[in-house]
Structure 1
Amino acid sequence: MQQHDETEEGSADESTTGRPPISPLDPATGRAQELHDLLAGDEALTVVCHDNPDPDCLASALALSELAADAGIEDVVLCYGGDISHQQNRAFVNLLELDLEPFEPGLLSDRLVAFVDHSVPGENNDVPAETAIDVVIDHHPAESVEARFVDRREDAGATATILTEYVRALDLDLAGRLATALLFAIRRETLGFLRGVTAAEHEAAAVLHPYADAETLRRLASPPVTGATADALGTAIENREIRGAVCISHVGRTGERDALPQAADYLVELEGVGTAVVFGIVEDTIELSGRTTDSRVHIGEVLSDAFDDVGSAGGHREMSGGQVPLGLFADAATDERLVAFVEDIVTDRLVEGMNLPEDEADEG
């Protein structure tokens, strides 16, 4: 880790670093050094991404691996559960040449274990619930978070923002893919600095921008969309129901899990709609994605209240997700019957939980 000479005021001289000074009293500096010291005491690290990782999770994992390397850890593994199926997530992995491995329990043995962008074993990951975690860095709501090092900030717009603070405080090299990954992750997580953004995201972007590759950012922003994803989006648009200012829709059975948040992002922008929830059957699970621009609605709490007794759901005020196992109903005679059953149950729970009109509104 590089060290800077300090000015009389106690901060690094901008003229020698080319970057704005960081106050030694900045809390991020202390937390970053604390994490660095913890990592320096070990030889191997497994960074566990949450299931179906997005750019925020992937960029944060990359940044933590760079921090671990700076602390002297040569054996760093980045792993994930589920699939990387969203076209933007696949482009992120390919263009930034991320080295990822599918999660397996053996990656938890005799190694430090870190979570980024999630925080609880067994929730949105395949890590056994009893596993001791060493590092947690996250910005999602959660309960019973335990680790040797925890930095969980629900007010942060992205986990990548927190990692940017650490990288900046420890003066790690941002050249190359690291700045590009972190900047794109912050942009994507905040929908272009429009959703859940704080001053910290703008400050992080200012630090990252001079080092990010503009062409890679452009390619990441507009990856090609598969025909299956386009079909799922079309199905969600066709199946939409408007109840008050809430749009509820489904994509039926699909292999395009990541089409659900894309559909929710689109439907919440419809005229007169402030909240959108899209669900679909993916293998043997009902997947849900929610979005809201209505300041009166906390969509994370809405999904949690509606589905936590039968699955797991939750998230931020403006964006959330959930999973409900189908159990015995997964063996329903036909997809048509199963989809109709799921549509009725999910819609009824949302209508009751949000106190919505019983009948679909007239959009005409």
Structure 2
Amino acid sequence: MSLDTPHLQPTDRCDSLLSVLSGADSLAVVCHNNPDPDSISSALALAAIAESADVSRTDLYYGGEITHQQNRAMVNLLDVDLRPFTDECLDSTDLIGFVDHAVPGQNNCVPDERVPDIVIDHHPNEGVEGTHVDHREHVGATASMLTEYLQELDVELDARLATALLFGIRRETLEFTRGATEAEYTNARRLHPHADVDLLRRLSDSLFTHETLDSIADTIQNRTVRGSHLVSHAGRTTERDTLPQAADYLLNLEGVSTTFVFGIIDETVHLSARTRNPRIHAGDLLMTAFDDMGSVGGHQAMAGGEIPLGLFGTLDDRDDALVELVSEVLTERFFQETSCNS
């Protein structure tokens, strides 16, 4: 039976989580695809909680790739043992935990029919199932939620874990400028005395690769602006994590309050949207514009999704024609929807 805990007291949430962990020998913590610092740090925190509950083995898994320079730096500098997900990894574990995502098959590689035992997430979603479900959309970062568990359960907060969680909160909220709530400020204050500030600075100052810079340059060049709304694309790219970075960067353009950036990676079109307009909900905007084409959704200020490239037909690998078609369809759909909301 699913236990949804958004309105429970911290003690009740902790009791619920511990009851699931009790007696288990192993836990597989699954991050979402292409995991970011919020998901990675939350996975480390859940592993620490499991260890304190006498779970003998906890393994951390992810789907997709780790390409963003700060995400790679986090895994390397904090020595995070994060392993590529395979279907077989779930066959040898007692429990499955999701952090920073909630539904099997959505932004993860877990089979649709496999219901997780633990779900801790802050993203908008429906149909969330599990034995322990802590699903709080009003919180700005999953790392905030895990920090509360550590505090309530009195789990040791060493410098590595505190640094990871503080970095996760800071990145998820763009240094407390996007979607930050009282929980983020409170938990950042809890974490800061334990964190390695020098390491935190190294993580924050991770360098762009040449490929990332080139991809962002493409989105600058390809931008189209109508009113306060901007659409751009990176064409065919291997730099998936460039898309949200570009959406954030282009939001600084004078007169622009909403950005929508996309790029073609292999056989999928990846989408990213950002807004500073309080009258626009980025997640709802993408849902209305593209839900019939793929998997999309998100928060008030940020959203994303994926659309199968096959929907646009076969163009005999003529990349220029394919990029032009994708750009035309997605750009017009987005601007049509924003004009309806104006």
Deviations 1:96-115 (A, max 9, x none): 11001111111222420010
Paired position in structure 2 for 1:95:
77
Q: Does the C-alpha gap of structure 1 residues 312 and 90 become closer, same or farther in structure 2, counting only changes over 3 Å?
A: same
For the pair 1:49 / 2:31, whether they are aligned, the reply is yes
Deviations 1:228-259 (A, max 9, x none): 10000001001111111001000100000100
TM-score of the superposed pair, with normalisation by structure 2 = 0.95
Tell me the amino acid that sits aligned with residue 44 of structure 2.
L
Unpaired segments ≥5 residues, structure 2 = 1-7
Q: How does 1:1-364 map to 2 (within 5 A)?
A: 27-109=9-91, 110-327=93-310, 329=312, 331-333=314-316, 334-355=318-339
Structure 2 residue matching 1:72: 3-state secondary structure: coil
Distance, in Å, in 1 between the alignment partners of 2:312 and 2:225 is: 27
Deviations 1:112-145 (A, max 9, x none): 0010000000000111111021000000000100
Aligned 8 A contact 1:180 1:216 in 2 = yes
Distance, in Å, in 2 between the alignment partners of 1:144 and 1:190 is: 26
Tell me the amino acid that sits aligned with residue 124 of structure 1.
N
Tell me the amino acid that sits aligned with residue 294 of structure 1.
N
Q: Does the C-alpha gap of structure 1 residues 299 and 99 become closer, same or farther in structure 2, counting only changes over 3 Å?
A: same
Distance, in Å, in 2 between the alignment partners of 1:338 and 1:356 is: 27
Distance, in Å, in 1 between the alignment partners of 2:338 and 2:119 is: 33
Distance, in Å, in 2 between the alignment partners of 1:308 and 1:329 is: 15
Distance, in Å, in 1 between the alignment partners of 2:145 and 2:77 is: 23
Point out which structure has higher relative CO (alpha carbons under 8 A, 6+ apart): 2
Deviations 1:163-204 (A, max 9, x none): 000001011111221000001100111111111111111110
Aligned 8 A contact 2:312 2:325 in 1 = no
Aligned sequence identity (%): 53
Deviations 1:49-97 (A, max 9, x none): 1000000000000000000001011211100000000001000101111
Structure 2 residue matching 1:313: 3-state secondary structure: strand
Aligned 8 A contact 1:40 1:68 in 2 = no
Tell me the amino acid that sits aligned with residue 321 of structure 1.
G
Question: Aligned-pair distance for 1:352?
Answer: 1.5
Structure 2 residue matching 1:270: 3-state secondary structure: coil
Give RMSD over aligned pairs: 1.3
Distance, in Å, in 2 between the alignment partners of 1:264 and 1:29 is: 39
Question: Aligned-pair distance for 1:33?
Answer: 2.7
Question: Aligned-pair distance for 1:351?
Answer: 1.4
Distance, in Å, in 2 between the alignment partners of 1:339 and 1:52 is: 23
Aligned residues: 332
Structure 2 residue matching 1:133: 3-state secondary structure: coil
Tell me the amino acid that sits aligned with residue 12 of structure 2.
G
Q: Does the C-alpha gap of structure 1 residues 344 and 133 become closer, same or farther in structure 2, counting only changes over 3 Å?
A: same
Tell me the amino acid that sits aligned with residue 274 of structure 1.
S
Deviations 1:4-46 (A, max 9, x none): xxxxxxxxxxxxxxxxxxxxxx911221232123112211100
Question: Aligned-pair distance for 1:330?
Answer: 6.9
Q: Does the C-alpha gap of structure 1 residues 68 and 330 become closer, same or farther in structure 2, counting only changes over 3 Å?
A: farther
Aligned 8 A contact 1:284 1:330 in 2 = no
Paired position in structure 1 for 2:5:
none
Question: Aligned-pair distance for 1:328?
Answer: 6.3
Distance, in Å, in 1 between the alignment partners of 2:129 and 2:297 is: 19
Distance, in Å, in 1 between the alignment partners of 2:302 and 2:180 is: 13
Bigger shift: residues 263-272 or 106-115: 106-115
